Chains A and B, each alone.
Chain A
């Protein structure tokens, strides 16, 4: 039980401000890998995923836990530190899991034509983040960037929904990278 109480931000306002600067940099510059710190979440959560949850989630944001991440340790840690309600894929604001567990992407809200912001952000736990692989272009990228993406075809299909669509935050260890719906793939 004690472990549940541990692992949050030591100094919430300052830790969260640093974490958000990292997250914003990642989202504004797709393909950029950013180091974040401040959270020590229970397994199987990575440090980066813990930081993302602490920075963005609260009682206003339903969170969907997929696969192995839907366990007691994560549920209680998330409940104590953020107060975020657990929800289904169809109604979530944030979803957390491995790529395979999070699929199919059709399950998540992609926003409406008038409110494309009412869409889910998927936090995808990865083995590693490498700035090579699939070529990325679009807003936030001067010429081109690259990132090891799990399923380029599915992510390209997500981009075709623009301005609707899902936004992705990839986490591995203490690193974060992001792929907003606006990014062209390949």
Chain B
């Protein structure tokens, strides 16, 4: 039930128009960070204020929404954002990836491939990939304008000289359509190859007041070197619950004596596999 005290999807219409114009510019210039007048939202910065504003601007009453936090549908952040839109937009919500038309995500791309009619909205903490290399916005603007991305390669090179390989494992920088270097938000680099997809991807950074976007099938290349090619890495285990070898895994500490297990970070994917009868090492013993 929509709470009638609020406009549809919480934001007022002029704010939505401003965000919508920024989204269209973002889609027209893939990977470029469009400044927008981010509003205060009824949640703290860092909890997805950018993603929520983008979602509010794209939602229609007929949409079915899914919200994930690190792949999970049942964490505080995901539950509260889902409830927020149930209340202010009256949209249906789901945890099933295939049933959702708008998916707001914090730091994961669902394991199940997305299709054409879906929209993936990322919550972004720091949209500027060069920020930790150059703190001044005036400078990073110029660097993007001049395509001056040497510093990013130096960072990756320093990784190699220090660790023997590129140790950056999340928020791994990508180059979009051969032009802009973009921060894919802190998704694990395991997810980077999935970014060339049939769905529309929108990125919202509330505190930093930036929106950027990737139209479907946009060419997204993870930065690397000829002799150190990009590798989409994950923990070298299978999921303890569903036995999946192809999904991104979370490490769970089980005791204080070094015990640990690995489980799918995407809870919907893991539940779907278990419902289909797949069992991992932990469940296999329990089932017998």
Give residues in A with beta carbon < 8 Å to B.
Answer: 12-14, 16-18, 20-21, 23-25, 27-29, 55-58, 60-61, 93, 113-117, 119, 121, 138-142, 162-163, 167, 180-182
Please state if B9 and A139 are interface contacts (CB–CB under 8 Å): no
Enumerate 16 A-B pairs (CB-CB under 8 Å) in ascending A order. A14-B60, A17-B16, A28-B213, A29-B215, A55-B20, A56-B17, A57-B17, A117-B22, A119-B25, A139-B218, A140-B216, A140-B218, A142-B198, A163-B179, A182-B177, A182-B215
Task: Report if B18 contacts A (CB, 8 A).
Answer: yes
Q: List, in ascending order, chain B residues with CB within 8 A of A114's CB.
A: 141-142, 144-145
A142 touches which of B13, B25, B179, B217 (Cβ 8 Å): B217
Give the distance in Å from the alpha carbon of A138 to the alpha carbon of B178 in the complex.
11
Known A16-B13, A20-B57: A28·B27 in contact at CB below 8 Å = yes
Least distance between A142 CB and chain B CB atoms (Å): 5
Task: Report if B253 contacts A (CB, 8 A).
Answer: no
Least distance between A49 CB and chain B CB atoms (Å): 16
A24 touches which of B27, B145, B146, B179 (Cβ 8 Å): B27
Task: Report if B122 contacts A (CB, 8 A).
Answer: no
Please state if A27 and B24 are interface contacts (CB–CB under 8 Å): yes
Least distance between B85 CB and chain A CB atoms (Å): 12
Please state if B13 and A163 are interface contacts (CB–CB under 8 Å): no
Question: Interface extent on B, as a size class?
Answer: 35 or more
Known A23-B24, A139-B214, A142-B217: A17·B61 in contact at CB below 8 Å = yes
Q: List, in ascending order, chain A residues with CB within 8 A of B109's CB.
A: none
Nearest opposing residue in chain A for B13, CB measure: A12
Q: Give the residue among A20, A23, A28, A138 with the most B Cβ atoms within 10 A.
A: A28
Least distance between A171 CB and chain B CB atoms (Å): 15
A56 touches which of B20, B145, B213, B217 (Cβ 8 Å): B20
Nearest opposing residue in chain B for A9, CB measure: B13
Stretch binding the partner chain, chosen from B28-36, B155-163, B263-271, B275-283? B28-36
Q: List, in ascending order, chain A residues with CB within 8 A of B14's CB.
A: 58, 60
Please state if B16 and A16 are interface contacts (CB–CB under 8 Å): yes
Give the distance in Å from the alpha carbon of A19 to the alpha carbon of B30 in the complex.
22
Q: List, in ascending order, chain A residues with CB within 8 A of B20's CB.
A: 20, 23-24, 55-56
Please state if A163 and B32 are interface contacts (CB–CB under 8 Å): yes
Least distance between B20 CB and chain A CB atoms (Å): 5
Nearest opposing residue in chain B for A117, CB measure: B25
Q: Give the residue among A56, A139, A140 with the most B Cβ atoms within 10 A.
A: A139
Least distance between B168 CB and chain A CB atoms (Å): 25
Q: List, in ascending order, chain B residues with CB within 8 A of A119's CB.
A: 25
Q: Per-residue 0/1 for B1-44: is the Cβ within 8 Å of any A Cβ (1 yes, 0 no)?
A: 00000011100011011101111111111101011000000000
Q: List, in ascending order, chain B residues with CB within 8 A of A163's CB.
A: 29, 32, 179-180
Within 8 A of A (CB), among B168-207: 177, 179-180, 198, 200
Give the distance in Å from the alpha carbon of A56 to the alpha carbon of B30 in the complex.
20
Please state if B142 and A121 are interface contacts (CB–CB under 8 Å): no
Nearest opposing residue in chain A for B179, CB measure: A163
Q: List, in ascending order, chain B residues with CB within 8 A of A23's CB.
A: 20, 24
Give the distance in Å from the alpha carbon of A179 to the alpha carbon of B71 in the complex.
34
Q: List, in ascending order, chain B residues with CB within 8 A of A93's CB.
A: 21
Give the distance in Å from the alpha carbon of A97 to the alpha carbon of B65 in the complex.
38
Q: Would you list the 5 A-B pairs with minimal beta carbon distance, nearest first?
A: A140-B215, A180-B28, A13-B8, A113-B145, A139-B218
